[in-house]
Structure 1
Amino acid sequence: MSLSPYVDLLRLPGVLRLVLVALVARVPHAASGVVVTLHVVLTLDKGYGQAGVVVAAVTIGSAIGAPWRGRRVDTLGLRRALVPSVVVESAVWVVAPFLGYEALVVAAFVAGLFLVPVFSVVRQSLGVLVPPAQQRTGFALDSVGTELTFMLAPVVGVLVATQVSTTVALVSVGVSTVAAGALLIWFDPPTRTSQVHARAAAAASVDAEGAVPLATPVPAAAVPGAAVVRVVTPALMVVLAAAVAVSFVLNATDVSIVAALESWDRESSVGWVIALWAGGSVVGGLAYGAGRRAVHPLVLVLVLALLTLPAALAGTPLLLAAAVVLAGVPCAPALSSITAALVRLAPEERRGEVMGWQGTAMTVGAAVGAPLCGWFIDRHGAGAGFLTASVLGVVLAGGGLLVLRLSRDRSLRSATVVAPDAADEAPVTVDARG
């Protein structure tokens, strides 16, 4: 596997800095779930079920707020759209350690509603900074970076929560949220092609005249009377359905890994097994991004679901570890393929909103996948969780591919019917050479 596509990618103006900013800015979100869970269980002395309610409140708030926040980025510009999220979310996590359980549930919902849209902003900016021919590599690298963040940040969160206190851990999440938001506001990555051109012109003006222009390009959607661009199309809905399916499989697999290790009294192995799973995803993502062919998101989701099946047959922790490495390989490719497809299908004027809908679709998949597989695990064991993830993933992806095939066949039949009529109505021409 050659890494030259990534070298070429990181040489593009602004891309390396965006990747580094994204790695840091995602840390608060990646750590918050486990920190909140430990705070509810260890400090508030509640059960894991009640901790799940708090995490679910964040998730529901995020699902509702993501498209709205993305639309604010589209209409107001990044900096103005980020300020309310940074203020509200950081305030919630700083105050959270001093709230009772019921108030914490409400506060968690508000935090989710105003969650700093790091993921969608980074993907939106990559779609602007990276030429179409290199976007598959760019989004693959983004998925790999996300995996690395989610491998490391929860570990740090657990260490602070257990070795110091959950109060310090939650306040740290709040402080790091401010830092992440400030970093994004300072960097102000472009979310429109027009912004890239305007900044290039501004840089040229500085070089020529030594003066820094103060005007910032206004997003077109914010201009009164600007046309409303149609964003919902059948193709876009299919890709969002793929996002639901991949999130379902991933979250169901996550729950099943924990259940399997717990059934073998190997709870202490959860961390390294999940790290191996993420490691497989990193390898798969790097290989996919360095390759030359793009694959439809539904095909990658289908592969992901099929490669999850061997985990259902694992009878020991070592066999499970090997199985989840295999299952992890298509994860990052599937996620990056979904993002690349959405960027290609969504007009720039509505791309922030569409990235928000991607987050909502992932949330829906997670909200269904974890509890449904948990229900099967409680009744039939951990293997049933992996089996459910695999079978339903195959059904969802296979069903989506079937719908696409039928849609194409219908389009071809329509074209065949229309073609003769069009030929009859075509003007008759005479060859002058005859």
Structure 2
Amino acid sequence: MLNRYREILSLPGALQFALAGLLARAPMSMVGISIILAIRALYSSYSLAGLISAMQVIAFAVCAPVLARMVDRYGQMQVMLPSVMVSSLSVVALIFAILNLAPPAILAILAVVMGATSGSLGALVRARWAYVCKSPAQLQVAYAMEAGFDELVFVLGPVAATLLAASVHPVAGLWVSLAFMVVGSLLFLLQRSTQPPTNRPVPGQKKRSVMRSGTMLALAGTYVFTGALFGANDLSVVAFADEVQMSYMAGIILASMSLGSLISAVVYGARVWSTPLWKLFIGGVVILAFWASTFVFAPNLMVLAVLMFFSGLAIAPTMTNVNTVVQRISPPERLTEGLTWMSTAMTLGVSLGSALAGPAIDLAGHRGGFSFTLIFAWLMVIAALLGIKTLRRVLQQKPVPLPEFEAVQPSHEAAPSSPRPAQPSHETAQH
């Protein structure tokens, strides 16, 4: 089963950038909770902690697509290396501001700078896979593996951040996140042989945003509600655990969902799928919605953990399919932007879900929050169904899943060792 993973990791430079990308993405599951834990401990304010964390997330959502467009135009290292350095310095400044009980306005400014300059490392990694993979089947495996890496980060990151804050120091999680960010980003961005080539605009020619595509809008709408499902679910799990005086179980319950997703990522990527991609996509969305709808009926935490595990089995395949669709329908020179818009949609959805589920939990306990999880789950399905006709048509019109990169290669970059071979048609692609 692991032969397909061994195949893609043996591609030139693949193992190196995959591991560096995993290291660089570790902070994405640690920074938010580390900010909350640090400010809660030193300022004794949940409201301020939530506000500062939310501002960082919103700044990321607004600015990540802009950075992605610049990456597609000028190159990953050229854009993200200075951007990540600015983000890292803002983390250092935020840590010292928290330790010195700086005014909330200072914390807000630093959090906004940090979020605005962090960028979507996951999109950069997936863009490299699209460049180095030689067939749609290889890319499916790569994206499934990356979905598994994401789940691994979300299983371990929050637990590590919580333990560091509790046993070392309230800001220890931020220091560790900073170390991962700097070391991982440098190791990743300095690998220039696998960096996708840039595409400079033709003078006088304006390029449309990838979000003017009906298919991209449908995928983004689906992801907004998927993120809202996750945001409402996280708060509801914490509330359920608090109600039964087992708050320490909240992280374990949430990890059961990530564990299910991690397992499914490994299995999904190891198989060759003959089912059309649009059917795989809508099937995963419906399965996720079904299991998420059962959470509100869970009589205890043990049952909830089992239900969440089964729901997690649909997460990684669904995200793999979405990223694969984005890769197929986006122009090669706009791929990073397209992938980043999906991250932005998910992030905005998480904020929406948390904002709406919180008051519901205050009024009706954990079942009030899980009611919003159920609602968002089926809104996710509706959004997917509204775009499925367009998605099916567009995929059938895309006979070349991995097109040639017609690019202006910077003179200082190493050129690929060999040209990309001709790709099979959509009809013969195995998905």
Band of TM-score, shorter chain? 0.7 to 0.9
Aligned-pair CA distance for 1:11: 2.5
Structure 2 residue aligned with 1:109:
112
Q: Is contact 1:28–1:173 with CA below 8 Å preserved after alignment? A: yes
1:248 aligns with 2:251: no
Question: After superposition, where does 1:94-133 map in structure 2 within 5 Å?
Answer: 94-99=92-97, 100=102, 101-130=104-133, 131-133=135-137
Structure 2 residue aligned with 1:277:
257
Q: Deviations over 1:291-319 (max 9, x none)?
A: 33344434322221111122211111211
Match of 2:248 among 253, 268, 287: 268
Distance 1:178 1:17 in 2: 16
Structure 2 residue aligned with 1:80:
78
Structure 2 residue aligned with 1:378:
362
Distance 2:175 2:261 in 1: 31
Distance 2:208 2:119 in 1: 25
Q: Is contact 2:226–2:380 with CA below 8 Å preserved after alignment? A: no
Structure 1 residue aligned with 2:306:
322
Q: Is contact 2:25–2:121 with CA below 8 Å preserved after alignment? A: yes
Instruction: State the one-letter code of the partner of 1:240.
Output: A
Q: Is contact 2:60–2:119 with CA below 8 Å preserved after alignment? A: no
Aligned-pair CA distance for 1:349: 1.1
1:221 aligns with 2:205: no
Distance 2:32 2:222 in 1: 24
1:134 aligns with 2:138: yes
SS at match of 1:269: helix
Percent pairwise identity:
27
Distance 2:215 2:82 in 1: 33
Specify whether residues 393 and 167 from structure 1 end up closer, same or farther in structure 2 by C-alpha distance, changes over 3 A only: closer
Q: Is contact 2:60–2:118 with CA below 8 Å preserved after alignment? A: yes
Structure 1 residue aligned with 2:396:
none
Aligned-pair CA distance for 1:261: 0.9
Structure 1 residue aligned with 2:190:
186
Distance 1:104 1:153 in 2: 23
Aligned-pair CA distance for 1:13: 2.4
Higher helix share: 1
Structure 1 residue aligned with 2:216:
236
Larger Rg: 1
1:152 aligns with 2:156: yes
Q: Is contact 2:238–2:250 with CA below 8 Å preserved after alignment? A: yes
Aligned-pair CA distance for 1:61: 0.4
Q: Is contact 1:89–1:111 with CA below 8 Å preserved after alignment? A: yes
Specify whether residues 338 and 370 from structure 1 end up closer, same or farther in structure 2 by C-alpha distance, changes over 3 A only: same
SS at match of 2:234: helix
Q: Which runs of 5+ in 1 are unaligned?
A: 196-218, 410-434
Structure 1 residue aligned with 2:89:
91
Specify whether residues 342 and 7 from structure 1 end up closer, same or farther in structure 2 by C-alpha distance, changes over 3 A only: same
Aligned-pair CA distance for 1:370: 1.5
Q: Which runs of 5+ in 2 are unaligned?
A: 394-431
Instruction: State the one-letter code of the partner of 2:96.
Output: F
Q: Is contact 1:85–1:115 with CA below 8 Å preserved after alignment? A: yes
Question: How many residue pairs are counted as aligned between the two chains?
Answer: 382
Aligned-pair CA distance for 1:74: 0.9
SS at match of 2:118: coil
Aligned-pair CA distance for 1:229: 5.7
Aligned-pair CA distance for 1:398: 2.6
Distance 2:251 2:379 in 1: 30
Structure 1 residue aligned with 2:48:
50
Instruction: State the one-letter code of the partner of 2:255.
Output: A
Distance 1:189 1:269 in 2: 45
Q: Is contact 1:96–1:170 with CA below 8 Å preserved after alignment? A: no
SS at match of 2:60: helix
Aligned-pair CA distance for 1:78: 1.1
1:176 aligns with 2:180: yes
Structure 2 residue aligned with 1:289:
269
Specify whether residues 229 and 188 from structure 1 end up closer, same or farther in structure 2 by C-alpha distance, changes over 3 A only: farther
Instruction: State the one-letter code of the partner of 1:119.
Output: G
1:30 aligns with 2:33: no
Aligned-pair CA distance for 1:86: 1.8
Structure 2 residue aligned with 1:336:
320
Match of 2:290 among 306, 326, 346: 306
Instruction: State the one-letter code of the partner of 1:57.
Output: M
Distance 2:224 2:193 in 1: 28
Distance 1:341 1:53 in 2: 34
TM-score by length of 1: 0.82
Distance 1:144 1:6 in 2: 12
